[in-house]
Amino acid sequence: MKILLVGAKHSLAEALAANRELDVALASSSRQRRAPVATVSGIQLRWYAGGQKLNFRAAWQIRKIIRELRPDIVHAFYGRALAHVVLAARGMRRPPAIVSFRGITTHLSRLNLGDWLTYRHPLVAAQACESHAVRDALIASGIEAARCWTTYNSMAAFPARSPGRPGLVQFDIPADAFVVGMVAAMRRVKGADVLLCAAAECADLSDAYWLLFGKVVDPEVRRLAGDPRIRKRVRLVGHRPDASELISGADVFCMPSRAEALCQALLEAMHQGVCPVVSDAGGMKEAVRDGQDGIVFSAEDVTALSTAIRKLHADRQLVEEYGASARQRVADEFTPQKVAGRCLALYKHVLRERESRGAA
């Protein structure tokens, strides 16, 4: 089976290429050139222009790659790549089967032409979804349920090292502090304001420090971080490319999002054994089993979040138990190999469906 991945992570391409049933090629946009090149033998790497959805140069380049490689399936990751693939395949006598990948829980719009060019287009045979929450949103948007498969997603990359608590010395955090961390571009949807409001409710926990990695977009975050009850123990670090490694030094990883498909930073923290506390938004409650791998609270419920933090602060053994379970949860469900196995099952289903329609 010949598979062309467009815009996929190299780790997923490598995991798929390890399967002898597949002949895997990877097309990456020129803006991804700085990413590590796939090294597994058998992956054919191609570059193309990328860019906005209506980029006919990118579509023409993808069309050339399809004609050269003649894949059975093209799996396009996210909207722009999917648009390029759909434009490339239009008018082909026998186009490859197209599979999408969707990683947001926003419903499709019948008034958005971009959605008709991508996820609603008749050339798209199946939709791979980052979580059940994404799948539910597609079905609610009118996509046939049988065409929507939850494949989940894996970490962008396994952290190269885990510096642990010594890595936090640079942020002037005491070695014996109880550290609650977060990694996100801090837009309103990510809920950093909810975490800081909970921090204020836990102001009496004098050894609790709040470590937030990521660009601050929501001005409310800076205002709340300046609360005199907690400001000496809040660290707004800004963007750090090594945040996924440094978070290993936290006791708790918190993701209080208002909406989320499946948070990559969450998976990276869980992989390193950091106890997760997450809102019930989107697919996060699928990754974190409440009371087993961590704590799940109702989105925007500040009191529920502060209660969870107090519970963990009072029981460090529970923090360790949740962290160990979270690490195993990622190993069981969210590695590139696990996602590749689900993708392979989807590819086989798509080709069987195509053959059965051809026979009819």
pLDDT tens per residue across all 360 residues of the chain: 999 999 998 889 999 999 888 999 999 986 555 444 444 456 888 989 889 999 999 999 999 999 999 999 999 999 999 999 999 999 999 999 999 999 999 999 999 999 999 999 999 999 999 999 999 999 999 999 999 999 999 876 666 678 889 999 999 999 999 999 999 999 999 999 999 999 999 999 999 999 999 999 999 999 999 999 999 999 999 999 999 999 999 999 999 999 999 999 999 999 999 999 999 999 999 999 999 999 999 999 999 999 999 999 999 999 999 999 999 999 999 999 999 999 999 999 999 999 888 654
3-class SS of residue 296: strand
Return the CATH fold of 165-333: Rossmann fold (3.40.50)
Which pair of tokens denotes residue 237? Answer: 């670090």
Sketch the domain layout of the chain as residue ranges. Answer: 2-154+335-359, 165-333
Return the DSSP state at 109.
-
3-state secondary structure of 234: strand
How many distinct helices (H) and strands (E) make up the chain? Answer: 13, 13
Contact of 270 with 253, CB cutoff 8 Å = yes
Q: Tokens in use for 268? A: 């990276």
Question: Please, what sign has the CA dihedral across residues 168, 241, 194, 323?
Answer: negative
Question: Among all chains, which residue has been given the structure tokens 């051809």?
Answer: 358
2-154+335-359, CATH topology level: Rossmann fold (3.40.50)
Q: Do domains 2-154+335-359 and 165-333 have the same CATH topology?
A: yes
pTM for the full predicted model:
0.91
